[in-house]
Chains A and B, each alone.
Chain A
Amino acid sequence: MLKTLTPLLWTLFSAGGMLAALLYPVHLLLTGFAIPLGWVPAPSYPALHDLVAHPLARLYLFALIALPLFHWAHRFRYTLYDGLQLKHLEALIAVLCYGTALLGALVAAWTLWSFR
């Protein structure tokens, strides 16, 4: 089953990789450093809340979380496969990697869908 899905999984990997490459540096810089350490005026809670609530923002955030998770799943699966030569655990690794990504994507979808 995994073989027929490979083109899809690779596409998710590529899309996630492109999103992460383009957008993660700035988001990480802001979320991890600039805002907590006060380098920039922090957005107030109400402003942040309204921003996330916007339908476009919800879609954006879903893509920003879910696709890079699939990027990780695909890449990490091959790293374990080639780097640690765990070929005999192939099916288990695939299930754990894509399963985790799917779980993360579902939680993100649920959180953003039910955001009030």
Chain B
Amino acid sequence: MTMSSSAPAHYRPYHPKWYRQRVSVWWWLEKPVYALFVLRELTSVAVAFFALMLLALIRAVAAGPEAYARFQAKLQSPLFLVLDGIALALVLFHTVTWFNVAPKALVVRIGGRRVPDALVAGAHYAAWLGLSGVVAYVLLRG
């Protein structure tokens, strides 16, 4: 048999009939872990909600005592109390999930050894408590 020394052999690839499953739009409902993940991501809506509320607050303060009083009245309405309650729950969920995964991204090495995840997360919780105390003090001391 003579071998061709010029063009390489061309084989037509065999394509077997593979089965591909389409991912459903409801993929995140298939496992509880996925649903929790989407809930975690949706906490960002509560974050945006409160960011805008803070903006409205400072704009009310800028506009004068009557505007501020009207803003306070709105905050006391049942609608806002309910919305704020939902937002608070979601923001807390954000805080807890954020602190619990932070050690995966923020790897701290001391003396060549990696600081345990629990300590890194714990430091976040401690900072949370400390800063919350400072904010409450500054805001409420009158």
Contact = CB atoms under 8 A, between A and B. Distances in A.
A/B: CB atoms within 8 Å of each other: yes
B75 A32 contact: yes
Contacts of A89: none
A43 B140 contact: yes
Interface of B: 23, 25, 28, 38, 41-42, 44-45, 47-48, 50-55, 57-59, 61-62, 65, 68-69, 72, 75-76, 80-81, 84-85, 87-88, 91-92, 94-95, 98-99, 124, 127-128, 131-132, 135-136, 138-140, 142
- Interface of chain B: mostly helix, strand, loop or mixed: helix
A8 interface: no
Interface in A67-83: 68-69, 71-72, 75-76, 78-79, 83
Interface of A: 16-18, 20-33, 35-37, 40-45, 47-49, 51-52, 61, 64-66, 68-69, 71-72, 75-76, 78-79, 83-85, 104, 107-108, 111-112, 114-116
Contacts of A52: 58, 61-62
9 contacts: A21-B99, A22-B95, A22-B124, A25-B88, A25-B91, A27-B54, A33-B84, A76-B41, A104-B55
Contacts of B88: 25, 28-29, 32-33
A72 B44 contact: yes
Nearest to A45: B65
B40 to A, nearest CB: 9
